Structure 1
């Protein structure tokens, strides 16, 4: 008897959908394509010499080397968790290592939190637009999405309040240099978000993946830093996700969750039932590299990405036709493009790839309600400044032709 595989797969798994970005990257890697599609770091900025030295020193030390190749505790190496705790404290978010769990990138953190808090039909609040990878992680639990619109200061508080008033008790938010828009919350909006969450006893999942990639202005405190309740580090409403993927190297797959201890304890059990622990040697390397590199390496990244952002912004200013607008991020890797209402960004992408050899991500993929058909995400992180200028010119020419049709 032939097995009907699709019938054997449970509904939770069938809820998963392919990532438009991952599919697009396979095509955008063609050398003739100027790609603004990938939300990935510039590989030229990876601290290769430091990694070469750290891996060599580690495996050259018999005791440390053998320890780094062994199983480890599920919570993560104490030394790495202490480094993260110290870094959080320096940013105003004092936490103990018992509040920190090391994960296989922040993406695993999203998946674990989804399995911990979500179930079919449970509502979760998302920004409109929001990070596609988070929606992929959440969708396997088949929640109900509640979209909240944004302005330049952050989510619209009246809409957030209404979502919580109607029963939602979880919100996934990105206050710093959000993927995909590059927007950041103002201080007043951060405080209002926290006040609204506390009013209803709601949980905030704060994605801090880009928080260190700040290029101008004052760095505002994270929601985690503002979430102090009488000095009790287990009494807050914020769970924060962090990662080294944007500041050191994605292949390390080192992320972390900072949360009240009851949450961490449950996540540790899930970790034990899943992959036991994150790679021991990669944790050791991350700790040694972070100790050697930071903060100087962060300044190197800031200088490099600031220059690319400025080049893309200037090219947009100089070439884009009337009716097109874009965000002006103070950090991160992305600029958000809003096209005239009559231009569909998915159709535009097909023409851009074929005729102009330029790639970007259509914005509709980032909306939980599939709106945003006239929007697009542009990443300035990986292409050279010369190719950024040329790619924006080609894209602007194509948009202008579309507008004249």
Structure 2
């Protein structure tokens, strides 16, 4: 008798669904496609010379090199955690290394927090739209999603309050240059979010993946910093996820969770049971590269991505027909497109790839309730300025034709 694999695989694993974003990354490799699909950094901006130096320095030092190839502690290298703690302190967040766990990218952080906090039927509040990768991490625990609407200042507080009043006690939020919309919260809305969470004793999972990629406007404190200013960080409301993937290099797979000590202690046990620790040599390289590169490399990234964003916004204004609107992000990598209601962005993508040779991510994938059928995410990060403008013009012509059918 053969193994009945569908019966062997547990319900948590069967809850997973394929990522449209990961599938579309394959499309971006075709040179004829102008891709606004992948939410990845521009590889032309990777600081290769610095990485060459830090790898050489590390492996050239026999004692440090051998240590970097050995097992390490599950919490993460103390020097790297101290660097992160110092960087957080510069933003007003009062944490020490015992509040920090190094993870294999922020995505592992999402997975670990899902396993720590979620279970079948437990409610978690999400922005509409929200980061697809977070929903994938959460879905394996089979929670109940409570979607709340967003306006230009952030989540609608009345809806957040109602969700907490009905029993939800966890919210996943992205206050800075959100993936997928590029939107950010105002200061008043950040304070209102925290006040509402404290009112109900709720936990906020703050995704800070793009917070360093600010191109204009006032720099606002994170929810973590505002929470720390309120009292004891070990009794705080906010758990923050950070990463070097958008500022150093994704392949390092270095992220972190900043949380109260009781949370970190439990996560360390999970880390030990899962993969023991993040690659020692990658942690060492990240520490050395960040120490050498920041803040000057951040300024390079900000200048390059600002220019790409400006080209995309200009092209949208020049070419898009009436009835199409878009976000105007002050940072991050994304512009959010809202199409006329009669246009299905999934169907539009098929024609865009075949006829216009342009790729994007249909917006419906980012909604926990599968709404947003006429929305799309555009990334300006990886294409050249010329191809951005060309791609937007092609896409606009296709939208105009679809809208008139």
| Partners of 1:122 and 1:80 in 2: CA distance | 34
Native 8 Å contact 1:229 1:235 kept in 2: no
**Per-residue CA distance 1:67-89 (angstroms, 9 max, x = gap):** 00000000000000000000000
For residue 145 of structure 1, what is the aligned residue in structure 2? 145
**Per-residue CA distance 1:170-190 (angstroms, 9 max, x = gap):** 000000000000000000000
Secondary structure of the corresponding residue to residue 310 of structure 2: helix
| 2:54 is aligned with 1:54 | yes
- Where does 1:74-113 land on structure 2 (aligned, <5 Å)? 74-113=74-113
| Partners of 2:342 and 2:306 in 1: CA distance | 32
For residue 265 of structure 2, what is the aligned residue in structure 1? 265
For residue 310 of structure 1, what is the aligned residue in structure 2? 310
For residue 339 of structure 2, what is the aligned residue in structure 1? 339
- Where does 1:277-316 land on structure 2 (aligned, <5 Å)? 277-316=277-316
For residue 71 of structure 2, what is the aligned residue in structure 1? 71
Native 8 Å contact 1:54 1:285 kept in 2: yes
Q: Indicate the RMSD between aligned Cα atoms, in angstroms.
A: 0.6
**Per-residue CA distance 1:311-337 (angstroms, 9 max, x = gap):** 000000000000000000000000000
Shift of 1:235: 1.2
Shift of 1:232: 1.5
| 2:252 is aligned with 1:227 | no
Native 8 Å contact 1:312 1:389 kept in 2: yes
| Partners of 1:88 and 1:288 in 2: CA distance | 18
Native 8 Å contact 1:103 1:278 kept in 2: yes
Secondary structure of the corresponding residue to residue 298 of structure 1: helix
For residue 22 of structure 2, what is the aligned residue in structure 1? 22
For residue 2 of structure 1, what is the aligned residue in structure 2? 2
Shift of 1:231: 4.2
| 2:393 is aligned with 1:400 | no
**Per-residue CA distance 1:277-336 (angstroms, 9 max, x = gap):** 000000000000000000000000000000000000000000000000000000000000
Shift of 1:29: 1.7
Q: TM-score, normalised by structure 1?
A: 0.99
Native 8 Å contact 2:54 2:285 kept in 1: yes
Q: Runs of 5+ in structure 1 lacking a partner?
A: none
Shift of 1:399: 0.3
Q: TM-score, normalised by structure 2?
A: 0.99
Shift of 1:403: 1.1
* Count of paired positions: 405
| Partners of 1:162 and 1:290 in 2: CA distance | 42
Secondary structure of the corresponding residue to residue 51 of structure 1: helix
| Partners of 2:401 and 2:170 in 1: CA distance | 44
- Where does 1:355-374 land on structure 2 (aligned, <5 Å)? 355-374=355-374
Secondary structure of the corresponding residue to residue 234 of structure 1: helix
Secondary structure of the corresponding residue to residue 233 of structure 2: coil
Native 8 Å contact 1:229 1:236 kept in 2: no
Q: Which moved more, 1:223-232 or 1:26-35?
A: 223-232
For residue 166 of structure 1, what is the aligned residue in structure 2? 166
Quickly say closer, same or farther: Cα 1:325–1:33, change in 2 above 3 A. same
Shift of 1:230: 5.5
Secondary structure of the corresponding residue to residue 228 of structure 1: helix
**Per-residue CA distance 1:357-377 (angstroms, 9 max, x = gap):** 000000000000000000000
| Partners of 1:403 and 1:366 in 2: CA distance | 23
Native 8 Å contact 2:213 2:332 kept in 1: yes
Shift of 1:229: 5.9
For residue 31 of structure 1, what is the aligned residue in structure 2? 31
Shift of 1:228: 2.4
| Partners of 1:403 and 1:17 in 2: CA distance | 31
For residue 254 of structure 1, what is the aligned residue in structure 2? 254
Native 8 Å contact 2:93 2:229 kept in 1: no
